[in-house]
Amino acid sequence: MEKRRPSGPRQPPAPRKNARSASPLAPEKTRSNERRRPAEAATGKSAPQRPAPAGEGKAAGHGAAKAGPGKERSRRRLVKTERLPRQAVARAVVAPKSKALSDREIDQTPQKLQKMLAQAGVGSRRDMETLIAAGQVTVNGQPATLGMRVGPEDDVWVNRRKVAWPFAADKIRVLVYHKEEGEIVSQDDPEGRPSVFAHLPRIARGKWLAIGRLDFNTSGLLLFTNSGELANRLMHPRFEVEREYAVRLLGELTDEQIRHLTEGVQLEDGPARFDVLLDMGGEGKNHWYRVLLREGRNREVRRMFESQGLTVSRLMRVRFGPVTLPPALRRGRLMELPEEQVAALYKWTLREQAE
C-alpha cells in the first residue's frame, strides 16, 4: 500500500512549438527575417536562400514552413523564377518587373480589320489583306474593304467562321522550339512530311503562328505565338528584326568573298547582305561561320553562299531578335516562356520599333 502513492492529475507536456520558440536558434531566425524583409520590400524580390546542410533538408524545410507567411511567399517566388534557363532569353527580354500581358486593360477602341484578324490568330496581316481583297471577309453581313475599322460590337466572319474580338486580357503565349532537320513549318503538306506543328500543345482559342519559317533542311530556333500582333511585329520586313545563324560550309571564304557578302550580292528576288559575318574556324573541309541579317526571305542564307560558289552543309538558327536558343533545349523539344518574359519581349518590340 505504501508503494501506491496518490497523485493529482498529470500536467500535459508543453507544446512543441513553445519548446522550439524557447530555443536559442529561434530568435536568430526571427531577427534574420526582420533584417531581410526591408530589402525585399524595396526591391520586390525575395532574398536568395542558403542551401541546407546535407542531411538537414527535412528539418530546414519544416522550419521554413513555421517561420511565417512572409518567408513562405518568398519561397514560392523563388520557385516561380526557375521555370526557364537564363540562356533562353537575351538581356533585352529579361525584365522581372515587367507587367504581364494578361494584366493589360481591355482595349475597346476600333482597330483596322486586318490587324484585328491577325490578333485573333486567323493568320498574318499579309494573309488577312489577301483574304479581304478576295472578298472572303464580311463585316455585319457586308463585304469588307481593306483598311476599314471594326470594333467589339461588329460581326466579323471569315469564310463562314465567326471571329471574336481579340483585344481583351487574354494571355499571350510564346513557345520556343528546337527544330530538327527534316521537318516542315506548315500544317498542310501534300507529301505528308513531318510537321513542327505536331509537337505543339492544343490551344483552345485561335491557333499557333510560326514566327519566321525555317526550310526543310534547316534546324534551330523557331518561335510560336497565339498573338497575330506580336508575330507581325517580329516578322514584318520593315521592323528589321535580327536573325543569327551558325553556318557550316564545304570550303573556306576568301577575303574577297567576305567583302561581297557583307557589302551585298544580287539574288533573283533582289539584293541581300550580311550585317555581320564572323569566322568561327573548323577542321578539314568543313568551316563554321556566324552570320547576322535583318530579313527572312526563302532560303536566303543558302542562296547568298551559293552566289559565291560555296555549298552550305549545315544551317542552324541560334537567335531571333532578343530570344536565343537555350543550350539545354534538345532537338525536337519545346518550352514556353513565362508571362513576365513574354511581356518583356512585347515591350522590346515596341521600344525597338519606336526608335
Residues annotated as catalytic (active site), given as ranges: 215
**Phi, psi (5° rounding) for residue 261?**
-70, -30
Residue 241's contacts (CB-CB under 8 Å, 6 or more residues apart) are 234, 235, 294, 320, 321, 352
142 three-class SS: strand
Identity of the residue numbered 81 = T
Distances (CA, A) of 284 to 248, 249, 280, 290: 12, 11, 14, 18
The candidate with the shortest Cα–Cα distance to 160, out of 186, 131, 126, is 131
**What nine digits make up the cell of 213?**
519559317
Q: How far apart are CA 214 and CA 181, in angstroms?
A: 9
Cβ–Cβ under 8 Å, residues 220 and 314: no
3-state secondary structure of 172: coil
